[in-house]
Structure 1
Amino acid sequence: MPIPGDIPGQSEFVEATNGRLRAFLSGKREQVTAVDPGAGTLVDSLVSLTAGGKKLRPVLAWLGGRAAGRSGDEQALTELGVALELFQAAALIHDDVIDRSDTRRGQPSTHRWFARHHRTSEFSGDSDHYGVSGAILVGDLALSWAGEVFSEAEAVAADPSPAGREVFQRMHTEVITGQYLDVLAEVIPPAESEAGAVGRARNVLTYKAARYSTEYPLALGCSLAGGGAQLQRALAAAGLPLGIAFQLRDDLLGVFGDPEVTGKPVGDDLREGKRTELIAYGLHRSAAAAAAELEAVLGDAALDDQKVARAREILVSSGARAAVEREIAQLAEASERSRAELSRLGVDEDVLTDFAAVAELLLARTS
């Protein structure tokens, strides 16, 4: 579902983006079933995944376009919204395979979706392997199709900045690199100092998720609407702190969130062995015995609720949770300060008001 709020025009834009996404995937389903009727499952799984979500990135792209003062590029911004949704779908699908996650948005993750399809269809062979194979292929398709739709966005834009294509391509490189750094962080020796551990976690968070969640959608929307380099930089400066704060909140929800709201089992980040900033603070600010307890639960796929509860106690008593909350507050202030530059560059007051409203909703997220 879209981000809740009272921003004029937001619901209409999100509805248009969803409609265009459905139409695009319907057309792709016709293409793949023309190859073989059984291939329709590839698109069906993607339809299931993209039907949910908050549509955060399209909304931010829309704000970036409005910041450039070009209301006539609505179709281009809608196409961009679809491209960003497909890009995110690819990232989520592959991330869930890597993390062995069972659920996404309260539903089976894509590789589990395919595994279930294998079982209900009574196919031969290993259902789990079939599931992973299907998910990898769907993620690849989603990434390819994201590029296809972005080209369409450029084609229909009245006067797009050429910088947009470079940003879009860089986004691919950085997210995949960030994902690898996340994998690497789980298997290499932990950083010896708190500063080293926090810095490593922040690097992963920034490149794997934060920049493509907020900074790049804003910059891409601005670029498609013909905004100049100075405005794009100002939007990036206001957007990146929000993206980092958004992901830090995600780290907190991964341990302290309500599974009925987040759609993921409680403690999943602990089971996956995520070396987040929250964990870095917990390990380095706890007494030796408590730090050893916390270290022991990381990466334990069979972690039960009792051990999750104990890990949460350690993260609270050590001050780790409070430290992350302070980081989020400081990042929110940094974004607010940067938004003052947007005003100096002549961005309309209604756009700044809407930006502030979206920022508040991002920082107060519960899922």
Structure 2
Amino acid sequence: MADLRSAFLNVYSQLKSELLQDPSFEFTDDSRQWVERMLDYNVPGGKLNRGLSVIDSYRLLKDGKKLTQDEIFLTSALGWCIEWLQAYFLVLDDIMDSSHTRRGQPCWFRLPKVGMIAVNDGVILRNHITRILKNHFRGKPYYVDLLDLFNEVEFQTASGQMIDLITTLEGEKDLSKYSLQQHRRIVQYKTAYYSFYLPVACALVMAGENLDNHIGVKNILVDMGIYFQVQDDYLDCFGNPETIGKIGTDIEDFKCSWLVVKALEICNEEQKKVLYENYGKPDTANVAKVKALYNELNLKGVFEDYESKSYGRLVTSIEAHPSKPVQAVLKSFLGKIYKRQK
């Protein structure tokens, strides 16, 4: 895996070098240095799970056969397109949320001399994806399918972000808007399509598959993405900050978290009153009251029950799929997230 990661990072350097020499724009030294710094700060800094999953999925679709150098390069390039998409979303998301840190360092827009230039940097990141696809896939029979796929997933993700933003409008904190159905809709569109479906869809397209024949695979991956986000919501409150790498703030931020929608579903009127009075308040005393209520409602037990039922349901769906290589891809994804602690 370490070798795969270092090979993957080498492809980043090559793609970056091509983008900094793009013949469609006359770079000055200043503009080239700006873009290079912006890319290095925002693109390769995460866990790279989404990008690496493209290579992994493609290899499993090929029955585990050794990939050619060309296949490794092309799957890596597609993986990096997803990492570029992620960087574009995060740069803009941090501005919308007025965030301070991302991946243990200040958000890009918080850096001196960056500020709102970050909005345009986000647009440049998005445009880099189509440059990479043009440079390396234009001659492929599936080129248009890749463009369609990235355009569709970007639209779905931006629409999910919109539902999230308008559900948590400043000054309109209203818990009655929150429900399991609303939580599912936000997560499905904002996270599941680009984090779970897109890496596998890229591998399927490159393997010559028609995505219209794989709606079942898409549905399983979206369900997996929802399960992943429920874990995230749970860990935000009950996880160890040293393990998950951040201090959770979903309660203070009035997030439409799975925990609060489950609490609203099972609490009595008196407990509901506690939630309405304390959820979304920055004071530690308010947060403590919400957490105490979560414990009173045994949300840890409710989550554990949800986790085991979700896992069972996903395994059943995966094993019902007629293709063994596709099953292997889906089981690989599920294995990485089941009972995770971070």
Query: What TM-score does the superposition give when structure 1 sets the normalisation length?
Result: 0.79
How far has the Cα of 1:276 moved from its partner? 1.9
Equivalence map 1:222-241=2 (5 Å)? 222-229=204-211, 232-241=214-223
Structure 1: segments with no counterpart, 5+ residues: 1-9, 119-129
How far apart, in 2, do the equivalents of 1:161 and 1:330 lie? Answer: 39
Asked if 2 retains the 8 angstrom alpha-carbon contact of 1:61 and 1:81, the reply is yes
Could you tell me whether the CA contact under 8 Å between 2:146 and 2:202 is conserved in 1? yes
CA distance in 1, matches of 2:80, 2:332: 23
Partner of 1:164: 146
**1:20 maps onto 2:29 in alignment:** no
The answer on whether the counterparts of 2:201 and 2:211 sit within 8 Å (CA) in structure 1 is no
Residues 241 and 334 in structure 1, CA contact (< 8 A), matched pair in contact too? no
Partner of 1:261: 243
User: What are structure 2's unaligned runs of at least 5 residues?
Assistant: none
2:39 corresponds to which residue?
46
In 1, distance between residues paired with 2:186 and 2:93? 13
Match of 1:58 in 2: 51
Match of 2:305 in 1: 326
Shift of 1:87: 0.3
1-side partners of 2:94 and 2:303: how far apart? 24
Check whether the contact 1:75–1:156 (CA below 8 A) recurs between aligned residues: no
Assess, with a 3 A threshold, how the Cα gap between structure 1 residues 143 and 325 changes in structure 2: closer, same or farther. Answer: farther
Paired position in structure 2 for 1:105: 103
The within-5 A match list for 1:127-146 is 131=115, 133-146=116-129
Letter of the 1:294 partner, please give it: L
1:226 aligned counterpart, secondary structure: coil
Shift of 1:52: 2.7
Letter in 2 for 1:291: K
- Equivalent position of 2:265 in the other structure: 284
Quick one: structure 1 residues 366 and 29, their matched pair in 2 at CA, closer, same or farther if it must change by over 3 Å? farther
> Please, what is the CA RMSD of the aligned residues?
3.0
Aligned to 1:340: 319
1:366 alignment counterpart: 341
TM-score, normalised with respect to structure 2: 0.84
1:120-139 CA deviation, whole Å, 9 max, x = no partner?
xxxxxxxxxx52x1332222
Separation in 2 of the partners of 1:165 and 1:57? 18
In 2, the alpha carbon distance for the partners of 1:39 and 1:152 equals 19
Once the two structures are TM-superposed, the CA of residue 147 in structure 1 deviates from its matched residue by: 2.6
Is the contact between residue 279 and residue 320 of structure 1 (CA under 8 Å) also seen in structure 2? Answer: no
Q: Letter of the 1:361 partner, please give it.
A: K
Segment drifting more, 170-179 vs 26-35? 26-35
Q: Distance in 1 between matches of 2:121 and 2:303?
A: 35
CA distance in 1, matches of 2:20, 2:286: 45
Q: Aligned partners of 1:164, 1:30: CA distance in 2, in Å?
A: 23
> Residues 226 and 152 from structure 1, CA distance in 2 versus in 1: closer, same or farther, beyond 3 angstroms?
farther
Greater relative CO, 1 or 2 (CA 8 Å, sep 6+): 1
Match of 1:307 in 2: 286
Query: What's the CA shift for 1:44?
Result: 1.8
The alpha-carbon distance between structure 1 residues 364 and 346, as it changes in their structure 2 partners (threshold 3 A), is closer
Stretch of structure 1 that moved more, 222-231 or 249-258: 222-231
Q: Which stretch of the first structure deviates more once superposed, 316-325 or 206-215?
A: 316-325
The letter of the residue matching 2:312 is: E
Give the direction of change, closer, same or farther, for the CA distance of 1:240–1:333 in structure 2 (3 Å limit): farther
Q: Which residue of 2 aligns with 1:80?
A: 78
Report the Cα distance in structure 1 between the residues aligned to 2:146 and 2:131, rounded to whole angstroms. 14
Sequence identity percentage: 20
Cα pair 1:57 1:84 within 8 Å, conserved? yes
Q: What is the SS of the residue equivalent to 2:251?
A: helix
Aligned to 2:201: 219
Structure 1 residue 209, shift from structure 2 partner: 0.3
Instruction: Kindly tell me the number of residue pairs found equivalent between the two proteins.
Output: 333
